[in-house]
Chains A and B, each alone.
Chain A
């Protein structure tokens, strides 16, 4: 069964450093998403991406965040200057043309 692949599974970074989280969505999917889950809290929408541009972003997705699809397969989330409160699980998802969403296993980001 096709999967959404995320790397790394766990990233530890120092406050103020830049991080890039990587995702390989399912190949025939057209919509891509990043979600965040702070420990003990709900899975929150960050951003959606379609046709090489952001289609919607939440108020969490401020100027410190950016997304990119640098080639035909990868979809990345960059956090420019990490803060302690950015520590969370970050999930990538892609949506099939028929509407079904598939989530990756997530990257656990720890900011120290």
Chain B
């Protein structure tokens, strides 16, 4: 059962560009939505955490959830080479995290 779907990329953008990463999910009961960043050979690191629909901003990062279309987005403004990583969307379903496959992002200097 593919509960959280994400395009694996890779996605390459020039430094300074706005990055848009997206996921869809299937279970309408999901309430919590997360974005994790994962560097090579490291564990997932929580970036953003939102509850239900709406936007949340933290510095250069904005997370957006649209429950009507079951769509989750992460926007990165003024992207930096250090943002190069794999970005995992996830939802907190039934007391565990369910991850998407992750999108590999490359910011070109």
Question: Which one, B32, B43, B100, contacts A91 given CB within 8 A?
Answer: B43
Pick the interface stretch among A12-20, A40-48, A64-72, A77-85.
Answer: A40-48
Query: Are B96's CB and A103's CB within 8 A?
Result: no
Q: 0/1 per residue, A1-36, Cβ < 8 Å to B? A: 000100000000000000000000000000101010
Query: Are A42's CB and B45's CB within 8 A?
Result: no
Size range of the interface on A?
20 to 34
Question: Which one, A45, A103, A108, contacts B44 given CB within 8 A?
Answer: A103
**Which residues on A sit within 8 Å (CB–CB) of B97?**
33, 35, 45, 93, 101
CA–CA, A89 to B44, complex, Å? 11
Nearest opposing residue in chain B for A55, CB measure:
B95
Nearest opposing residue in chain B for A56, CB measure:
B96
Interface residues of A (CB under 8 A from B): 4, 31, 33, 35, 41-45, 48, 55-56, 89, 91, 93, 99-106, 108
Interface residues of B (CB under 8 A from A): 32, 36, 41-46, 49, 88, 92, 94-102
Q: A31-B95, A55-B95 are in contact. List 14 more A-B contacts (CB 8 A).
A: A35-B99, A42-B100, A42-B101, A43-B44, A48-B95, A56-B95, A56-B96, A89-B41, A93-B97, A100-B46, A102-B46, A103-B44, A105-B42, A105-B43
